[in-house]
Amino acid sequence: MSFMSFLHWLWSRLGQMDSLSWYSFVSGCLIALWLLLYNIYRAVHALASGCLRISFFLKHFVYPLLFPRTRFVGTATRLGAGTVLVYLLANIFLVLIGTRANIGKRAATMSVINVIPLLCGPRLSLVAELLGISRRNSIWSHQWLGRTVIAQVLLHTITSLTGSSAFAWTAPNLFGAVVRTCTPSQTGLLADILCKASSAFGFIFLISVGFVRHAIYEWFLNSHTLLSAVVVVAAWRHVPSKTPAWFFLRIGMGLWAGATGIHWLIFAFRNLALGRPLATVVAAKFSDASDHALVGPSNVLRVDIAIHRPWWRVKAGQSIFLSIPSLGLFTGVRGHPFVISWWERDERGLRLSILVQSRAGFTAALSRRTHTVLRAFVDGPYGAPHSFGEYGTVVMLASGIGIAGHMPYIKDLIRGYNSCEVRTRRILVVWEMEDLGQVQWVESWMNEALDNDTGYGEDVPYGNHGRITKKHGPPDVVGVLEKEFQDRTGKVIVSLCAAHGIRDTARMHMQRRMEKRLRLVELDFQPPLEETGRRGSAGMDIMCRG
């Protein structure tokens, strides 16, 4: 086939596609275009980082919050809200356009198309790394895709079970849909399968509500996987063959099989080797009785993980999924995400360190097995690190256990300065603590970082001196940022791993002062909601000057 013949065939095929097929085709093209532009951006990042147009985009779309943050709803940026609005309007338009009698069929086809990205493998972090987006953004996208699919499946279920070709939104029709859903055997095999899929979607929606998910997190993880499998099997049996939905469902299943296979190959390569043991884990409690913040459910553990495989490479800002089968089949087998807070490599191999806040389920079981060597599987590391080394001044704002997200960057920047690999000449860390006893979480790591800062010229371990200042009360975020902007060395980046109040204040001030030499990032790991509602009583500034 010649090239012109191929173009003629392609054009004829495109001309035969309906609006839903065009939606799927355009979505795939946009993802491919995103991958292309992302890799081009990475190649010319040094030029793009100083572009005034990017600064304008950040100032007016990425940084501003659309409405104040609330506890159960949260908040959204202008870019995030605009993206969701365009996505929802496109789905509503494509479902409603056309004859009214086929609304249910169009909703079903659209739901299958939207399921495709939900089936891209068992690890969202793997997909996020491929697309060059943060894990938080991948979870956010996953949630909105799921909500849209559930709404479209609900519409398809109601229109199908009412038995009317043109569905009217009346109370009798809605009641009839509920009754028929409860007695699916009356509507035949296809309706029975449809009811099972709809019920599974309904349960997924219920357990995905924020406060429910946090209350039964371990149950949520396992139930979500099981119910998703029920949905896929039911859809496989329900969707008629040789239809657009049948074709799209097989695309999704193919992507799932490919991504899952790649994930498990990487997992096996990083965990299994002849003659080498599995990774070992040892957890230790911080037992300072004077530290009231460490009592009860907020108890923090330091977990050291010994990796015996030689091919591991760790970068600042990456995370792992930890599985410890001996903690129990229900809680220990599934991987749980943790940010890497520190790492060291010696003749025995690689040792990772993480800070774990003991609450329930996996972390509670781990806290009962402290000072015990446990065999573990480690999946990862995942995550694309931020390029802090391109900035002359780095400001890090942390709250409570949020310091765990910044420690690897401190380590990496000081190492890069000593080897002349980074431009950073000043690091300012502002850490809001509830109690000074929390210093012990990272004291040994901080001392090592201060010792390795050869540019300072003198040995100053943790204590009372000019490089560390302690202040009572919440930090003056605006004052700290304004001072650093005035006295800055080179470009400035502000990194956030802190309570909501600190993050929102920093974001608003950065948005007001935005220009091409300033940047703001929020790390993937953020302190849990339970911490962000409490104001700290002590703060600490740590200055590492080159």
Task: Give the pLDDT confidence of 211-263 residue by residue, as tens digits.
Answer: 788 788 888 888 888 888 888 888 888 888 878 888 888 888 888 888 888 88
H-only helix segments in 124-182: 124-131, 135-161, 171-182
User: Which CATH number fits the domain that encloses residue 345?
Assistant: 2.40.30.10
Residue 41 has pLDDT above 80, yes or no: no
Decide if 211 is inside a domain.
Answer: yes
pTM of the model: 0.82
Q: Which pair of tokens denotes residue 409?
A: 């960057």
SS (H, E, C) 370-406: CCCCEEEEEEEEECCCCCHHHCCEEEEEEEHHHHHHH
The gap from C-alpha 142 to its chain's centroid, in whole angstroms, comes to 10
How close are the terminal C-alpha atoms of the chain, in Å? 64
Q: Give the model confidence (pLDDT) of 406-435 as tens digits.
A: 999 999 999 998 888 999 988 999 999 887
Q: Output the CA–CA distances (angstroms, integers) from residue 405 to 217, 231, 328, 344, 531, in the order listed.
A: 22, 36, 28, 16, 15
Decide if 520 is inside a domain.
Answer: yes
**Are both 498 and 473 inside the same structural domain?**
yes
Of 365, 382, 399, at which residue does a domain stop?
Answer: 382
Work out the pLDDT band at 290, boundaries 50, 70, 90: very low
**Are both 208 and 262 inside the same structural domain?**
yes
Number of domains in the chain: 3
Overall residue count recorded for the chain in this entry? 546
Look at residue 179 in the predicted model and tell me its pLDDT. 41
Decide if 126 is inside a domain.
Answer: yes
Decide if 82 is inside a domain.
Answer: yes
**What average pLDDT does the chain have?**
79
DSSP 8-state class, residue 240: P
Percent of the chain with pLDDT over 70: 76
Q: 217 lies in which domain range? A: 74-267
**Are both 226 and 290 inside the same structural domain?**
no
Residues 6+ apart with CB under 8 A from 471: 538, 539, 540, 541
Decide if 40 is inside a domain.
Answer: no
Look at residue 105 in the predicted model and tell me its pLDDT. 87
SS (H, E, C) 347-369: CCEEEEEEEEECCCCHHHHHHCC
Q: Is 452 buried (19+), middle (13-18) or exposed (0-12) by CB count in 10 A? A: middle
**Are both 120 and 223 inside the same structural domain?**
yes
**Are both 160 and 206 inside the same structural domain?**
yes
Of 382, 403, 435, at which residue does a domain stop?
Answer: 382
Whether residue 326 contacts residue 278, with contact meaning beta carbons closer than 8 Å, is answered with: no
**CA nearest to 518, candidates 490, 483, 491, 495:** 491
Q: Output the CA–CA distances (angstroms, integers) from residue 24 to 17, 42, 367, in the order listed.
A: 10, 27, 47
Decide if 2 is inside a domain.
Answer: no
**Are both 407 and 438 inside the same structural domain?**
yes
Q: How many other C-beta atoms are found inside a 10 Å radius of the C-beta of residue 36?
A: 10
**Are both 186 and 120 inside the same structural domain?**
yes
Main-chain dihedrals φ then ψ at residue 392, nearest 5 degrees? -70, -35
Q: Is 26 buried (19+), middle (13-18) or exposed (0-12) by CB count in 10 A? A: exposed
**Are both 205 and 250 inside the same structural domain?**
yes
Whether residue 142 contacts residue 56, with contact meaning beta carbons closer than 8 Å, is answered with: no
In DSSP notation, 424-454 reads --EEEEEEEESSGGGGGGTHHHHHHHHHH-G
Tell how strand 393-399 and strand 426-433 pair up.
parallel
Decide if 518 is inside a domain.
Answer: yes
Residue 510 has pLDDT above 50, yes or no: yes
Work out the pLDDT band at 116, boundaries 50, 70, 90: confident
Q: Identify the weakest region by mean pLDDT among 37-41, 368-372, 463-467, 524-528.
A: 463-467
Q: At what angle do helices 443-452 and 403-418 cross, to 10 degrees?
A: 20
DSSP 8-state class, residue 264: H
Query: Which whole number is the average pLDDT over 333-354?
Result: 90
Three-state SS for 487?
coil
**Are both 437 and 530 inside the same structural domain?**
yes
Residue 266 has pLDDT above 60, yes or no: yes
**Are both 97 and 179 inside the same structural domain?**
yes
**Are both 355 and 405 inside the same structural domain?**
no
User: Which CATH number fits the domain that encloses residue 477?
Assistant: 3.40.50.80
Single-letter code of the amino acid located at 266: I
**Are both 539 and 469 inside the same structural domain?**
yes
**CA nearest to 130, candidates 120, 139, 140:** 120
Of 219, 239, 267, at which residue does a domain stop?
Answer: 267
Work out the widest C-alpha separation in the chain, in whole angstroms. 82
Q: In what order do the strands lie in the sheet with 468-472?
A: 468-472, 538-545, 426-433, 393-399, 492-497, 518-522
Token pair 């060597």 is found at: 373
Decide if 9 is inside a domain.
Answer: no
Compute the distance between CA of residue 402 and CA of residue 408 in angstroms, rounded to an integer: 12
Residue 544 has pLDDT above 60, yes or no: no
Task: Go through 190-213 and write b for each residue having 16 or more CB atoms within 10 A of its CB, e for each that does not.
Answer: ebbbbbbbbbbbbbbbebbeeeee
- Residues forming beta bridges with residue 493, ordered by sequence position: 394, 519
Q: Give the model confidence (pLDDT) of 71-96 as tens digits.
A: 767 788 898 899 899 999 989 988 88
Compute the distance between CA of residue 278 and CA of residue 483 in angstroms, rounded to an integer: 49
